[in-house]
């Protein structure tokens, strides 16, 4: 769901692009691909939807204008700033994944498996993604802990 600040930004972009309410609501449905979504308050809207809407409104704004506005300061700003995979939410998620990966690697080291072991897991992830690498580390940790627990059990 979009925050109140994001909703306000979208409404200001609508006004700056000169869209009337009917065109604005149709644009939301068209850009998001959700035919029944007609408001920025719709709970299904996410950061990526906002990015696409701002890019769309930006294109409308610059089509007939040459002077910058408050929201649209330069042509292509929102389009280049918010490429797929480069939203603020994407960057936050990437930071979180990096921290979780570092933690999993540290746990492997505590179990006695050094950097070389983690690098071997890393090389096996094709195509590579942080999510896939983290999942492989977590599977390995689970298996190694299970092996240690059964080795300690006399039965």
What are 45-101's pLDDT values in tens digits? 888 888 889 989 999 998 877 788 888 888 887 777 656 556 666 666 777 788 899
In this predicted structure, what is the pLDDT of residue 1? Answer: 81
Locate the domains of the chain by residue range. Answer: 4-84, 89-152
In this predicted structure, what is the pLDDT of residue 91? Answer: 66
In angstroms, the CA 133 to CA 122 distance is 6
Are the CB atoms for 30 and 57 separated by under 8 Å? no
Average of per-residue pLDDT across 21-50? 90
SS3 130: helix
In this predicted structure, what is the pLDDT of residue 65? Answer: 78
Are the CB atoms for 136 and 121 separated by under 8 Å? yes
In this predicted structure, what is the pLDDT of residue 104? Answer: 93
The overall average pLDDT reported for the chain is 86
Residue 106 clears pLDDT 90, i.e. is over it: yes
Average of per-residue pLDDT across 104-114? 91
Q: pTM (2 decimals)?
A: 0.53
Please spell the DSSP secondary structure of 72-100, one letter per residue: --STTHHHHHT-TT-SHHHHHHHHHHHHH
Nearest CA among 131, 9, 1 for reference residue 70: 9
Number of neighbours of residue 55 by Cβ within 10 angstroms: 19
CA angle 26, 52, 37 (to 5 degrees): 35
Per-residue pLDDT band for 135 (boundaries 50, 70, 90) equals very high
Residue 40 clears pLDDT 70, i.e. is over it: yes
């Amino acid at each position: 769901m979009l925050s109140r600040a994001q909703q306000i930004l979208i409404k200001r972009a609508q006004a700056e692009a000169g869209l009337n309410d009917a065109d604005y609501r149709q644009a939301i449905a068209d850009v998001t691909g959700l035919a029944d979504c007609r408001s920025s308050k719709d709970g299904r809207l996410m950061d990526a939807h906002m990015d696409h809407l701002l890019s769309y409104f930006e294109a409308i704004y610059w089509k007939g204008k040459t002077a910058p506005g408050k929201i649209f300061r330069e042509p292509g700003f929102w389009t280049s700033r918010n490429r797929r995979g480069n939203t603020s939410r994407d960057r936050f998620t990437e930071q979180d994944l990096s921290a979780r990966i570092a933690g999993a690697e540290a746990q492997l080291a505590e179990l006695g498996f050094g950097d070389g072991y983690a690098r071997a897991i890393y090389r096996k992830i094709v195509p590579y993604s942080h999510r896939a690498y983290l999942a492989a580390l977590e599977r390995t940790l689970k298996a190694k802990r299970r092996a240690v627990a059964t080795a300690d059990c006399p039965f």
